[in-house]
Amino acid sequence: MRHLLDTTDLSLSEIDEMISLATDIIENGEKYAHICDGKKLATLFFEPSTRTRLSFESAMYELGGHVLGFSDAGSSSASKGESVSDTVRMVSCYADIIAMRHPLEGAPRVAVNKTLVPIINAGDGGHAHPTQTLTDLLTIYREKGTFDNLTLGLCGDLKFGRTVHSLIKAMCRYKNVRFVLISPKELQVPDYIITDVLEPSGAKYVQVENMEAVMPDLDILYMTRIQRERFFSEEEYLKHKDAFILDPAKLENAKESLTIMHPLPRVNEITVEVDEDKRAKYFEQALNGKYIRMALIITLLKWGGQL
Ligand code: CP
């Protein structure tokens, strides 16, 4: 039995296989319509979600399976004080696979010690969001046809943005990827991303505070929301909330081949006018999330001997 706690739990060849499977699902969905007949996915969301939870649920339904779970810790026995360990131990008696989101970093790692079925980290605090990264990788592959030789700009709240942390861990494993980390000084990536991820990988990176100056260099611009819920004070959030707003004027010097991504939800960081730009791919990215999660469910159930 295997779990997915972070993107680095998967080898590069396993990621390639997952992307191939997702691509086949996109092209030949009917082949997979009954592959999970009789199987159950539990979605344990202790923190709010639209895309991740609903795309997991949609994914399981499209595979012929069933879904159970909760979307609010307040409607589960967590509100009575039940531990994550006990909750997961129980739910693993009722489902074949579990997707779990929790505000505490490391909560899914606690869960794997108790579960009887595969656990998928659907986001843990400001730490990691590996299924978003698989979504991002599928999107990059479909847009660029490669992961190598790309200049990737990551912009916004790089400190608390878990999607950024997981994406850097994934992309620094490919050849000649350059990272342009665009954020206010106070919201730069955590130190461990520099010392334990970027430096050992040998990937080139720069940390800058201005988006316009680096725009012409970028192959991908990955915008992120300022993570209001993770700030210690509202005052601190308000100081940064509109730090970067991507609008058509800021794209004037960008490459024609630029791919604009965002894990969503957005607040103010991309104006709606940009949605009409052919380089904006964030809604396709959200759709890709369903296909890659279908591929992930199939793969983990196969690895666990359940399919
Ligand atoms: N990208 C993402 O995780 O969105 P949700 O918070 O809506 O699931």
Residue 9, token pair as written in the block: 């739990």
Ligand 1: residue of 57, 124, 264 to mutate (most ligand atoms within 8 A of CB) is 264
Which listed residue (39, 102, 127, 129) is catalytic? 129
The Cα–Cα gap between 120 and 107 comes to: 11
Task: Give dist(CA 171, CA 182) in Å, integer.
Answer: 17
Lookup: tokens for 56? 């997991």
Cα distance between residue 130 and residue 108, in whole Å: 12
End-to-end CA distance of the chain: 12
pTM greater than the 0.75 cutoff:
yes
Separation CA 145–CA 175 (nearest Å): 14
Q: Is the dihedral of CA 133, 138, 143, 149 positive or negative?
A: positive
Contact 265, 225 (CB under 8 A): yes
**Is residue 248 within 8 Å of residue 274, measured between CB atoms?**
yes
Residue list, ligand 1 pocket, CB within 6 Å = 49-52, 123, 132, 263-265
CA of 202 to the centre of ligand 1 (A): 30
* Distance from C-alpha of 166 to C-alpha of 168, rounded to nearest angstrom: 6
Catalytic residue among 39, 40, 51, 225: 51
For 91-124, the pLDDT digits (tens) are 999 999 999 999 999 999 999 999 999 999 999 9
Please write the tens of the pLDDT for every residue from 36-78: 999 999 999 999 999 999 999 999 999 999 999 999 999 999 9
Provide the CB-side half-sphere exposure for 208 (13 A, CA): 14
Give 56 Cα–ligand 1 centroid separation in angstroms: 11
Reported confidence tier of residue 241, pLDDT bands at 50, 70, 90: confident
pLDDT tens digits along 124-152: 998 999 999 999 999 999 999 999 999 99
- Mark whether 239 is an active-site residue: no
Segment 194-231, tens digit of pLDDT: 999 999 999 999 999 999 999 999 999 999 998 777 77
Distance 163 CA to ligand 1 centre (A): 10
Catalytic residue among 3, 101, 127, 165: 101
